[in-house]
Amino acid sequence: MALLAAVPGASVVTISARAAGAGFVHGAVTTLGVVAGDLLYILLAILGLTLLVETLGPALSVMNYLGAVLLIGLGICLWVTTTRLQAARHADKQDGSASLLASFTAGLLITLADQKAILFYLGFLPAFIDLATLTPAQIILIMATSGTAVGGVKLVYAWLGARAGNVCRPEHGSVIKRIAAILLIISGVFILLTNSL
């Protein structure tokens, strides 16, 4: 699971970009959103609700679009606020909760709309584990293993992204934030394009 979580994808780009642009806490909260989505899929698989995903086909497309729009919006906001670094720092302190909610939502929506996550948790997981015979303790163990493996790897990406944003001298900070903004926008456009095909 850790190896699969380490493979760069939309969640890694989003976590790294949020951490580089807004700090480690935002990357960690985005990671929390990703892990929450993974745990939700584990519960769906265990509860035998695989058919729910098939019936949610149109809703999954809507989640794809919402996630993409959120990423593009975060990227645009980061780009615009970068032009006034002092104002952005003041705004982050004033409105940290809204930004943290956006970070969590981005991570959650990316995971819920990720076809690889759906395939793994609702396709491969039942092939390796007899979900019908799990005890509550085993369910907790599976969820803890998934949360630790995925969350741990994604937190490393958040830490690296935050380091990239912090290591640079102040005059380079706007460049890092603009790169982070571009990565967020590209991720959103990529999700829109793959959802349209």
How confident is the model over 91-141, as pLDDT tens digits? Answer: 444 445 558 888 898 888 888 777 677 777 776 777 678 777 888 899 899
Per-domain boundaries in the chain: 10-196
Of 161, 159, 151, 163, nearest to 181 by C-alpha is 161
Residue 62: pLDDT above 90?
A: no
How confident is the model over 128-160, as pLDDT tens digits? Answer: 787 778 888 998 999 999 999 999 999 999 999
> Is pTM, for the whole model, over 0.75?
no
What average pLDDT does the structure give for the chain? 76
How confident is the model over 22-59, as pLDDT tens digits? Answer: 889 999 999 999 999 999 888 888 876 545 555 666 66
How confident is the model over 2-29, as pLDDT tens digits? Answer: 777 777 777 888 888 888 878 899 999 9
State the distance between the two ends of the chain, measured CA to CA, in whole angstroms.
28
- Say if CB 180 and CB 64 are below 8 A apart: no
